[in-house]
Amino acid sequence: MSGMPLLDVDDLQVTFDTASGPVHAVDGVSFTMAPGESLGVVGESGSGKSVTARALLRLFAITDDVRVSGSVHFDGVDLLRVDERRLRKVRGGQIGMIFQDPLTSLNPLMAVGEQIAESLRLHRGMGRAEAASEAVELLARVGIADPEKRATELPSSFSGGMRQRVMISLAIACRPRLLIADEPTTALDVTVQAEILLLLDELRRSEGMALMLITHDFGVVAATCDDVQVMYAGKLVEKASMAHLFDRANHPYTEGLLRLVPRFEDAHTGRLHPIPGQPPITGGGGSSCAFAPRCDHAFDRCHQEIPPEVAVGPEHLSACWLAADRAKDSTEAGRPWRRA
């Protein structure tokens, strides 16, 4: 059926029961992704961005005492309700994942080509020889020079950037329809980061897969994603196309995030404008806007009721009581941080 979203997340809730009480890591998140779409998820640590991604595939440590509710429809199937066996087929099959630290997700005692081939045999039912040659192909595909030789090497002999390439080749080995990248370049140097981001973008276009990129860096999203959603304390606070957001960030938190990074083009222009205070560690679950305590614009209502997501433009949602007013303002006057 055309027009059906590839991924449809509805009212996702993830709660961890910890010794110091429940933590609402994800608090009622809903969004959809179309096939081939690229979506950036931006937030600080504790915003619930990584937990959201893990919840899609129910990737939790067995020690976690976690409750998940809502629904995650992937290709029409609710991943939260399928059995573990079918879920395993989806993981690494139709949905690929890469993480910040590739070392922890690669088997240190197995040649990288072997690891890719194993996945190919498992998910694509290839024979030994076919899988081995396809693995070399994949390594070449992600820009690893001399792939035949490197396929026989252990992960430890690869540099950080090359290791992330190996991870990517593993993630795309089964031609996933969705690739989830969780801070894939945070541990890498900028020049290496640039290459990995370009690689992800190229692969997305050539393989026609959807990309969900989780990061704290708007610059990374700008380079790779068409759409962006901003999370704070387990909730989506703003969603828009990236191009739109440059000009019309609506939510005060988004505005704060965009403004607090020193602009590279600017010389030293006085103090930065940090967001005061710090993010809540207990996630959402309150009965007011979670950002209100740090917000310059907060008024009585913000401390009493949770603001709903409202449309402030085409494909542009913002969860703020002032969203409509702020949308009006931004069309009249440019944002203060966007000087010519």
1 is a site residue for other proteins (CB under 8 A): no
207 is a site residue for other proteins (CB under 8 A): no
285 is a site residue for other proteins (CB under 8 A): no
Of the residues 273, 301, 328, 339, which one makes contact with other proteins according to CB under 8 A: 273
CB 9 within 8 A of CB 70: yes
220 is a site residue for other proteins (CB under 8 A): yes
102 is a site residue for other proteins (CB under 8 A): no
Nearest approach in angstroms of CB 1 to other proteins is 25
| Closest CB to other proteins among residues 32, 186 | 186
| Closest CB to other proteins among residues 99, 218 | 218
258 is a site residue for other proteins (CB under 8 A): yes
Q: How far is CA 57 from CA 24, 49, 79, 124, 339, in A?
A: 18, 14, 7, 19, 42
CA distance 66 to 81: 15
Nearest approach in angstroms of CB 4 to other proteins is 23
| Closest CB to other proteins among residues 118, 137 | 137
CA distance 224 to 245: 14
The pattern of x and - marking residues 148 through 177 that bind other proteins according to CB under 8 A reads -----------xxxx---------------
287 is a site residue for other proteins (CB under 8 A): no
68 is a site residue for other proteins (CB under 8 A): yes
Closest CA to 27 of 5, 6, 49, 58: 49
Residue 84 Rama label (left phi>0; alpha psi -120 to 50; beta): alpha
The pattern of x and - marking residues 37 through 66 that bind other proteins according to CB under 8 A reads -------xx------------x-x-xxxxx
Of the residues 4, 11, 34, 67, which one makes contact with other proteins according to CB under 8 A: 67
20 is a site residue for other proteins (CB under 8 A): no
Of the residues 31, 74, 99, 218, which one makes contact with other proteins according to CB under 8 A: 218
Of the residues 1, 109, 129, 190, which one makes contact with other proteins according to CB under 8 A: 190
230 is a site residue for other proteins (CB under 8 A): no
Nearest approach in angstroms of CB 328 to other proteins is 23
Residue 331: partners with Cβ closer than 8 Å, 6 or more residues away: 248
CB 10 within 8 A of CB 39: no
Residue that the structure tokens 């899609």 belong to: 56
CA distance 248 to 128: 53
CB 231 within 8 A of CB 41: yes
How many residues interact with other proteins (rule CB under 8 A)?
Answer: 64
Q: Token digits for 93?
A: 């099959």
DSSP 179-202: EEEESTTTTS-HHHHHHHHHHHHH
Nearest approach in angstroms of CB 224 to other proteins is 7
Q: How far is CA 270 from CA 50, 232, 277, 295, in A?
A: 34, 28, 20, 21
CB 228 within 8 A of CB 245: yes
Query: What residues line the site for other proteins (CB under 8 A)?
Result: 17, 44-45, 58, 60, 62-69, 80-81, 143, 145, 159-162, 189-195, 197-198, 201, 216-224, 243, 246, 256-258, 260-276, 278-279
